[in-house]
């Protein structure tokens, strides 16, 4: 696994902490922390939950996809930006001309990162269904193609502009909105 996660930096751990605090009866917390009074515990739990929610509020989830019809073939990329509440705040799609599928995936990521900078977003959690691109960006897979190496270099430069950047692989079904945007862009540009 690339890097390490600590409870205060990992969304999963924050969700667990928040859930436990919301579901744990105050009496159980009072028994575990007898030195604190009930009012103090109640206020502390409320403060921790609010703090966790504030930390998540500034994170934007970006779903990115790239596709080509033929490999190489006509290509397009797309991205869907969602706030921490899951609401779509921005969408983009772009026709790329003739590219390979991997070039379309990388170009989708680069286009999304450029748009995030333009929108002045600071904290990103990126999701892609291309395991190859995700693992190369994380440094877990080598890059053997010179064009992909050039695109990866561009991604690495762009991601330094964000105070927080995470990238994760997701199944194709969980990336359906970005996939549909990209496919629609291709359908608008080419006749099959």
pLDDT reported for residue 17: 67
Identify the H or E element spanning 34: none
pLDDT, position 85: 80
Orientation angle between helical segments 146-159 and 101-118, nearest 10 degrees: 20
Query: Is 153 a member of any domain?
Result: yes
pLDDT at 64: 98
Q: What is the pLDDT of residue 31?
A: 75
Look up the CATH number of the domain holding residue 104.
3.30.420.10
CA-based radius of gyration for the chain:
21
Helix, strand or coil, per DSSP, at residue 168: strand
Q: What is the pLDDT of residue 186?
A: 95
Residue 5 covered by a domain? no
**Is 138 domain-assigned?**
yes
Closest by CA position to 124, among listed 94, 87, 84:
84
**Cα(124)–Cα(26) distance, integer angstroms:** 35
Q: Are residues 63 and 153 in the same domain?
A: yes
pLDDT per residue rounded down to tens, the chain (192 residues): 333 333 334 556 566 666 666 666 667 777 777 777 777 777 777 777 666 655 566 889 999 999 999 999 999 999 999 988 889 999 999 999 999 999 999 999 999 999 999 999 999 999 999 999 999 999 999 999 999 999 999 999 999 999 999 999 999 999 999 999 999 999 998 875
Q: To which residue do tokens 């629609």 refer?
A: 184
Task: Say whether both 79 and 139 belong to one domain.
Answer: yes
Whole-number pLDDT of residue 35: 78
Do residues 73 and 142 both lie within one domain?
yes
Residues in the chain: 192
Residue found by looking up tokens 């748009």 in the block: 115
* pTM for this model (two decimals): 0.73
* Enclosing domain of residue 20: 11-57
């Amino acid at each position: 696994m690339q890097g390490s996660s600590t409870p205060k930096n990992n969304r999963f751990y924050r969700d667990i902490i928040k859930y436990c605090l919301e579901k744990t009866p105050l009496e159980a917390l009072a028994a575990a922390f007898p030195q604190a009074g009930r009012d103090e515990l109640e206020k502390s739990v409320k403060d921790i939950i609010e703090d966790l929610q504030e930390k998540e509020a500034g994170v934007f989830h970006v779903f990115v996809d790239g596709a080509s019809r033929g490999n190489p073939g006509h290509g397009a990329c797309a991205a869907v930006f969602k706030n921490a509440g899951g609401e779509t705040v921005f969408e983009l799609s772009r026709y790329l001309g003739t590219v390979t599928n991997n070039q379309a995936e990388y170009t989708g990521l680069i286009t999304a990162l450029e748009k995030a900078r333009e929108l002045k977003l600071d904290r990103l959690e990126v999701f892609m269904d291309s395991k190859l691109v995700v693992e190369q960006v994380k440094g877990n897979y080598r890059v053997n193609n010179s064009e992909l190496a050039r695109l990866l270099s561009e991604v690495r430069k762009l991601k330094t502009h964000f105070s927080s950047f995470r990238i994760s692989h997701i199944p194709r079904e969980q990336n359906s909105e970005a996939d549909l945007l990209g496919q629609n862009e291709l359908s608008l540009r080419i006749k099959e």
